[in-house]
Structures are given as structure tokens and as C-alpha cells.
Chain A
């Protein structure tokens, strides 16, 4: 992140904080000290009384509790409580004399950028013609080095160009999720239990026959900083997309949604594609102490204008961050959200219909993102930020396939599958199923078929 962007963001955040404070004040203003407790405030200092009257105290103690404390505590005890809370409030904000305002790095390091430095051409060990290549000895390989979909491997942008690659599947093993970790192992696990790119049962399209798909390796991450990782990931995604290939990103935690979309925005232009985001979590934390995390990914995209709010569709919301304030904020951004509560009420088919209508009304191009937390834990126990009562795998896959077949997909990302949390490996199979849904969708579209096309042979046995 360069200084300019940081400054820009800081300014924005100040603005936002001001608005938030205003909103908070409005909310607090709705509460006032009940009539029979007002006399209690007389025992307090002006500052203490104001702390309660302004509603600022509600940030620490719920309304019901502060009323109970006012009613039951004696003056001394009440003063002690408020003094402690006031000193807490005073320490809440950043103080440059006390707090670390930025995480220092070792500027003397000779390896400062080593992790993210691709090998320059003259230092590569082997000379070869550009283009994707097989990692197998046999014409019909049964095993060997695992790749996404068993696809050929490409390493450099020249390989993608030379092979006219349509889809580059790329691992982004960032592992800084705010839930349970291990998403960093996601790409390896999904390669190691390959269930994708086979003939599609509905259309009988074989993705690898229609599309040139490659395993484009992993993008290097800085395991101790999502911020440093994001800079590199965005650049690599932009470079990949510039070759004409569609990047399908395999996370990694959901903070990587930010550089994934940012990289594509560099190629296709900010606000030039919509975002369909399947997730239990809204990921719009507006007041993080860090500048990038999974909890902030969508907020950052909207804030920086990389995607437009009214072209952003969220499906499956239900996590602990879904509060009234968050939903109000999403509304204020014109985000089209579809909560799990609504899906349970009206049935998934009805919601899917609405979502597809919104997608169709929206821009021609979409980025499709899946945080696996959207899936019901019974089928995705390895979700890093697991949340009960989610979508079935068939439901999510159907939706993804329809969108990827109906719209031009500029990029795809699946995030936060932490394989070691599922000793049965079912989560890996299902994560691959979600990725495959989009891959098949892209193939169906490329084959010139309608999104919901069903091959006549599949419809029935045809016997009387």
C-alpha cells in the first residue's frame, strides 16, 4: 500500500468515523435516563453525568444494565464505575506517545522483498518454449504431481499468452483469517483431492475440451502481513488478467477478496464489473484497527470504488457481524443483500430467482466470490469462519453455475476453506464442487449454450 492510498484511506476513515459518531449519537439520543433515575445523576461530576446523558456509556454497558446500576449503586460505587469507564474510553483511541501506530519492518534486511520477487528470465534454470505444459509422463495420467483439475501448468504470463489460456486457476495461500485458521493449506488440499473439470452431467460439456485451463501455481504471500501480501496479489492478478485469461483464485482467507478484485479493476477498470459475493459474513467492518482483514474486504472494495454498491450482491448473510448497523450501512451503500433468514422464509428457489434477476439487470461482467462459510457446516465443516444454518452445496453450486454461464465472468475466487479442520476431507470435495460450478458455467457459455441448458440425453432415457 503506498503512502498516497493510505492517506486517502485515512481521510476517508476520518470522514466515516465522523458519520459513525453522528449515527451513534443519534442512536444514543434515542435513549435517555429514565425519569425516576435522573436524581441519581446529581451525585455525579459534570463529566460523569454527561457520559451517561450523552449515551456514550452505552458503548460499554447495555441500556438495561446502566439503568440497573443507576438504580442500585450508591454514589461512591457509581462514581468508581464511571471513572473506570471514562479512563477506558480515554485509552480506546490511538495515542502516538503510547501506542504503536505502524508495525515496523526490518529495513536493513537484504531479503526485504525476497518472498514476492519472481525469478528474472536470465536466472531461470531451464530454457523452454513459452506455453502451458504437462507435468505427467503418460498420455492418460492417473496420478502424479497434483494440479487443479489435472490441468497443465503455466508459470509465466508468456505461457498464458502463448497457450491462449482461457482460465488460470491460481492459489493464494494467505492464512490470516479472523476465524479458525489453515486456509493457507486450501490450494494444496484442493489440488490434492481433484474432483473438478470432468464432463458436466447437465450439459454434457467437458470443460477442458471447451476451455484452455491451466494451474497457474500459487501467488507468494507474506505470512505475517496481509497488507504486504495484498500489494503483490493485486499486481499478479492484474498481470494474469491482462493476458486475457480469467483468474480463478483459490484462497487463502477472505482478506484476499480485496486484492483479487483490485487486480481485476486494474485491468478492466474500477466499477466496470459487478460483484456477486456468497458469504455468511458481510465483511464490511468500518472501524478495524488494521487496514486489511477478511472482516473489511468488501468495505475496502466499496470504499475505494473498485465495485459499485448497487452492483454488489451478497447471498447467505447470517454471521455474528450481521447487526442492524451493518445492514443499515449495506442499504446505504445500495448493496443487494440476501440474508439466510430471508432464504429460510421464502425458500432458496425464490431467492435465487431474485438474485438472477438482479444479476441480469446489472452490468455485463461479474466477479464471483465464495467465502465457503456460506455453506451449511454439515457440508463444509472446514470453513474458517464457520456459521450454522447455511446453504446446501447444491443450492450454492446451482446459483454459481447459472451466473458464470449467463454473464461474462472477469474473475472468480473461493476463500477460507481450512482443510485440516475436516479430517474426512468432505469440505475439500465440496470446495472443488463450488469452483467447478463456475468453471462449467464458463464452459457452457463458451460453448454457446444457454445457462440452464440441459442436454436431451440427460433429460431421460427416452424409452416408451
Chain B
């Protein structure tokens, strides 16, 4: 029986040593202060903080997406250069085309440029 209790005695000794200088009043006061004023407000503040953080995260994600799309789009498009689609013939309209480029959500395309005002704009897209 003595052997059963020697460990308990050692644990009690350890417990007493650790709690010897413990500030009981301070712990109680902190707790009661927390309950009296801080807890409910603290909870509200925590929730508000989470909502704000969520909104900020959404905005940041949106901004990053917009920037990425712009960068990708710009890289894909590049500077526009035109070359003559065919040798100019006197009396015929002049036609030139851009290099193939990527139009967002529509895929690759070439823009044909023409000096004939009678040609409809949609006919200038060569997809």
C-alpha cells in the first residue's frame, strides 16, 4: 500500500512546489474581469474581425485574378504588327492583317485591316 502511494506523494510534492508562488487572486480577478466585461465584447470583436478578414481576402483574391488575367491577356496579345495580306493592286482595296493573336474567351484570331469603307466590320475578323 505504501508503494501504491509513493508516486501520489511525489506528485503532491511536485504540485505543492509548483503552486507555492501561484497568484490565486490574480487568476480569479482576470477571470472575473473577462466574464464581466471582456468576454461578450471580445466574442463580438472576434466575429467582426473574421468577417472583415473574409471580405479583405475576397477583395484581394479578386484583385489578383484581375491582374493575372490582364497580364496573361497582354502577354498573349503582344504588340500588334500588320503585314500586307497580298500584293497591292491598283484600284483594289488595300488589305493588311495582324499576326495571329489570342482574344480572351474567343481563341486565336487575326485582324484584317482594310481601307475600303464599304466592307462590313465583321468581315475583317479572320478566325
A binds B: no
Binding site for B on A (CB under 8 A): none
